[in-house]
Structure 1
Amino acid sequence: MISYHTKAVTTLPGYQLGQCLYEGPRTLVYQGMRLGDGASTIVKILRTPHPSFNQLVQFRNQYAIARHLQHANIVTPLALESYGNGYALIMPDSKAMALHDYWHKFNPNLEEFFVISLQLADALHYLSQEQIIHKDIKPANILICPHSKQIKLIDFSISSLLPKETQTIQTPNSLEGTLAYLSPEQTGRMNRGIDYRSDFYSLGVTLYEFLIGNLPFNSNDPLELIHAHIAQNPEPISTWVCLGGQLCPEPLSDIILKLMAKNAEDRYQSALGLKYDLKKCLKEYKKTGKIAAFTLGERDLCDRFLIPEKLYGREHEVETLLESFHRVATGESEIMLVAGFSGIGKTAVINEVHKPIVKQRGYFIKGKFDQFNRNIPFSAFVQAFRDFMGRLLRESDSALAHWKRKILEAIGENGRVLIDVIPELERIIGVQPPVPELSGSAAQNRFNLLLEKFIAVFTTKEHPLTLFLDDLQWADSASLNLLKVLMVDRQTGYLLLLGAYRDNEVFPAHPLMLTLAELQKQQTTISTITLTPLSIPHINQLVAETLSCSIELAAPLTHLIYQNTKGNPFFTTQ
């Protein structure tokens, strides 16, 4: 059995544990020796004696993904030992230390920086070839052997192994990784999936910090950091003193800023392209002690088929949506609808305004009605607010205390009604007393009133709220009634309700259209954008950028695609 004390593990069957090398909030790392053959090992264990299922899955994941990797710059684990309620990850002891500790202890020069960076580029190239996204590149997960300067990448606990036919994973519903090093798309607020280029962004943050000793964005407020990754450009470091006590060469600053581009299409497209530019810098630096300006990415070619995750031909529609948000940010409330056929890009257009809304400190939440669950009332509202509460739970303790006070002031002792449909709310406001049972319309009216007061807590001048309800053509009658409650005679403002629906599936007597007509009679501001198919020039631009060729060369393929899809964006990408 394992013995638990203040630091968790003191003994592990088959191993002799020595000095504790690292003590983190979730894990402990020990020096060890395998008793069978006397091999020197590193033993990583979970700190808690009673880990959650998710913690166990993540811990096992790092072994499952890394055990088959064979690369000089990646630590391949030796074994995963079961014990008690958890696991111990056994790794070879290469006498390495964390990169962060190394640069503080040994004060490396710029030449060493290039040696380290080139090895990291090698490791990321290997991972991309193996269809692995690390998702947590940071100094603490990079080891270095002080004498050989060999780099070792560790910790694949949240990494993703993609199927061969897949190049991206979907936008995450929750934050994974270390916030200071997180790519914009990993925040879940960028309307795009995650691919291997997410690791390039995290590498850029790591190299930025390595060079000048400061992170590009530094804050103890999670929302501030998320906002910075999405909306703020890092300060160029060409005017900063870097390793070796000299000004950072401008081309090196440009390489790091290219790695940290907000959109993945603007970053390096391959680790080999990055490696080429770094080698060019190192060669000139060793020769002259300086690095002259040059064009970045000359050998940077993507080695896989990736369709750019950006909108084509929807600039006017996106601008209309943003104007609507700007009006709401001044204190108004309104409904903006986006209509069109299936696959025409309604959801994509609305999601595109997510980033600008976050940039202006607004909240953007979304839910989707389901064709086969129309018997479940308020399903899209519940989905949106469950996700929103999950986001709030990642804020600081002081922020949570603020929300708890505001919510309880708004809903009084009726919190149990909302907790029954939004369980995450209980973790913010605590256990609430039972409430009298009501039936029929009385219960629905109480719920509507409470949800209206609850939503009003988050519709403020500091944080205007955008609520996106997708597939409104399938909304249940209770949800449509709630729409009327929320939008009629609103006194507080700062609420933008975005809705998407298939206009070919509704008719004048459809419940949605009747609800909208009733809202218009009540002087509610309602606008509608109807999306049309993409034009041939816009599809040609998509094809040319996907295949990295000229628009003239892309034209024949574009016409063939257009004949088959008639400009439908979904069918076009398929």
Structure 2
Amino acid sequence: MTETTELTGLVVDQELGRGAFTTVHRAQRGNATYAIKRPNPDNASDPGLLFAFQREAALLACVDDPSVPRILAAGRHEGVPALVLEYIPGGSLADRLTHGPLTPDQAVELAAQLARGLAAVHRVGLVHRDVKPGNIMLSPDGTAKLIDFGLALLGADPETDKDRAVGTFLYTSPEQSGMLKRPVDGRSDLYSLGVVLFECLTGHVPFEADDVGQLLRLHLTAPIPALPDGDPALTAIVTRLLAKDPDDRYPDAAALLTALRACPGGDTAGAAAVTRWPISGREAEQEGLADRWRRARTGRGGVAVIRGAAGAGRTRLAEEAAALVTDAPVLRAACQEDEALPLAPLRNAVEDYLRSVALLPGAARAEAEQHVRDAATVAGPALVARLSGRLAELLGDAAHATGEARDDHLFAAVATFLAELARRSHAMMLICDDAHWLDQGSREVLARLLPDLPRLPLLLLLTERDGAGTPTGVPADLELDCAPLDHAAVEALVASRLPGNVVPADLTAHVAARTDGSPSRWSPTCCGCSTPACSPRSGEPGASTWPARTRCPPPPTSAPCSPPGWPPSPTATGTSWSPRRWPVPGSAPRR
């Protein structure tokens, strides 16, 4: 980064909040009121702070949700790194809780707003890592806003994420504290939200200790304290959010939002969460998959294959197909190169499905589990129980019949089990992602399944990468090719990632050239040099604080994006800040 914007004309007055490293003040510029975040005096000379502020601004400019404050500018104010944000009148949730717990209805409304906000944050690949009452602002109109993304993690790289134990330990998940060796993803934020909800309902956090080590052990091993007598659905939600193992929590914020609708005041959770980016340039492929799924539901199953180069969006297109399935099982078999364990993709697909079934509400869970038992009974419970520990546990005594079985018997039994599960569920989709890496055993299972597909309500969806592994050779009645996107589709893709902005032609050209028209190779955090995805070059401020990653070439020299009425026309280029200029590198404001 060679240009630093001076944020001029701001009159700083009342202090709004103070943390270990930064302080937030209210600021006026003309008739407008802002919040300005600056380092505490002891940290003001840190050369990495300007980059950290620019990073935070660039990341949050891609998040479009009322529960996340708008970022307006990043640069220097009176020579000190600063971040200008939307001003939120009112106080924090921590302030509110000093007056007593919330009612269940209030807690549900708060959780619903934050769930939608977290869904938008997680969609761009961020993990907040510091969800706590002090970082939740309550505006006078009742909107809850999640603030302070200074600790936000972009992606999860276990080899380079060396400072995992960050955040406020009273609210930190076992995996984020390092007590549980699991990746830190969006489910860690859901755990922290569970602690917040527990405190909202009881007036205190679930685990407290004077010793930090003891506190972390409590989060890892201690049972969840009892909640006050109240609505069972809300109690179950908080209990599940506080599960020690992230696999036992809600898989994402959208699933939490769905569960909240069954609670008192659940109508406030009615608006859906946005969890995926819009897909661009694949309308014909989407329609083809939708039509093939409609036919499969009527008992005319078959095979669809999605082919394309690395980064062409094969997996994303498969996920769009999975989203069509609202009332039937979706089994996802993710294939790995050089997988040594026979049937590993199918084992994991069944395990993941049974894990999701175990989290369904009572009646739906009982029905789905019975379908699994019935399918296993037809296939041979002792054989199919070898596929999955969870399946063996569900089948109980039937899984323990003695007898030696050859592998070919197991392959046939698994094929029968999948076919019967599709029949008894009245429809099913089996996705094999990166099927060119399928192990031989899984290929044998699919070969035994193929003859019956035309008479089954089952769609087998395969994705294969051009020039990789060994193609399955499975005959398909729908073949889709993820060709590179044309210019219009790239433009639509970029615009969808930067909501509310007009995207200039040079940025579209830059992204198209960088990705060769393959949409999965680009994200908004890879257009400017202010995020870990495109970390600063050697010698720039903050370069030593980020792990080495693949870096983009310099983006276009013009402002990356300009919303209508905001042309990049500063009074003195690179030296002053104007409401008509967007000085955050790689980002733009939302309308």
Q: Could you tell me the TM-score, scaled by structure 2's length?
A: 0.48
Q: Could you tell me the TM-score, scaled by structure 1's length?
A: 0.49
Higher relative contact order (Cα pairs below 8 Å, separated by 6+ residues):
2
